[in-house]
Amino acid sequence: MNISPDEFGKLFTEFQREAFRLETLDDYSKSGGVDAYHAFLAGKPQPEEYKSAGWVRTVRDATQSGKRMYRVHILARPLSDYLRFELGWGYVRNQEAGEEFFILDITEQPNPLEGVPDFWAFDEHSVVTMQYGDGGEFLGAELIPEEQAQEWLERRDAALSNAVPFRDWWEQYKPA
């Protein structure tokens, strides 16, 4: 069932324990942070409004109240320009707010989740898949029936079991 942006947004404030995200794309540049991405590409400093964006407040509010927010990004090297931006600016910024990140690097191994779309899982019962167009343009979200949540949680577990903590991965592969 497709859900509205408002219904999707409520899930980020109403979850009780944890919110997990699987990211599968190399480019989300048309979905948010567009000005910051252009500043990154131009070699400019990180804009102040990007450092304190609404997402940072959402993450900080959740994690300071004891909730867990974490994600796995499936990617391959070399990193796209967008991934260099997302990991170097976005992940580092969001970690400071309390979000946890893991990398499933498929550069030298097969993708164990080939064909699985981006999704969020909230409190192990609400799962929302996300649809994107070319260039990472967010097109919409679909709420998965609760009776199907377990199969998505198995995908979450598979992603986590094949991933490494972002800090460790970044230390080894951070672009010069």
The pLDDT mean for the chain works out to: 95
Instruction: Identify the domain containing residue 105 by its residue range.
Output: 2-173
pLDDT digits (tens, 9 = 90+) for 68-103: 999 999 999 999 999 999 999 999 999 999 999 999
What is the rounded CA–CA span in Å between residue 101 and residue 23?
Answer: 11
In sequence order, the 6+-apart residues with CB closer than 8 A to the CB of 22 are 71, 72, 74, 113, 116, 118, 119, 155, 156, 159
Predicted confidence at residue 32, as pLDDT, reads 85
Cβ atoms 144, 152 nearer than 8 A:
yes
User: pLDDT tier at 58 (50, 70, 90 boundaries)?
Assistant: very high
What is the CATH number for 19?
3.30.870.10
Write down the pLDDT at residue 134. 85
Given a contact cutoff of 8 angstroms between Cβ atoms, the answer to whether 131 and 116 are in contact is no
pTM: 0.95
At 35, is the pLDDT very low, low, confident or very high (cuts 50, 70, 90)? Answer: very high
Tell which wins on pLDDT, 34 or 113: 113
Proportion of the chain above pLDDT 90, given as a percent: 90
pLDDT reading at 27 higher than 90: yes
Task: For 4, list phi and psi in degrees, rounded to 5.
Answer: -75, 160
Q: Indicate if the pLDDT at residue 176 is higher than 90.
A: no
Instruction: Please state the domain count of the chain.
Output: 1
Structure tokens given for 42: 């131009």
pLDDT for res 51: 85
Taking 90 as the threshold, does the pLDDT of residue 128 lie above it?
yes
Integer Cα distance of 161 and 43 in angstroms = 35
Residue 156's pLDDT is 98
Residue 10 has pLDDT above 90, yes or no: yes
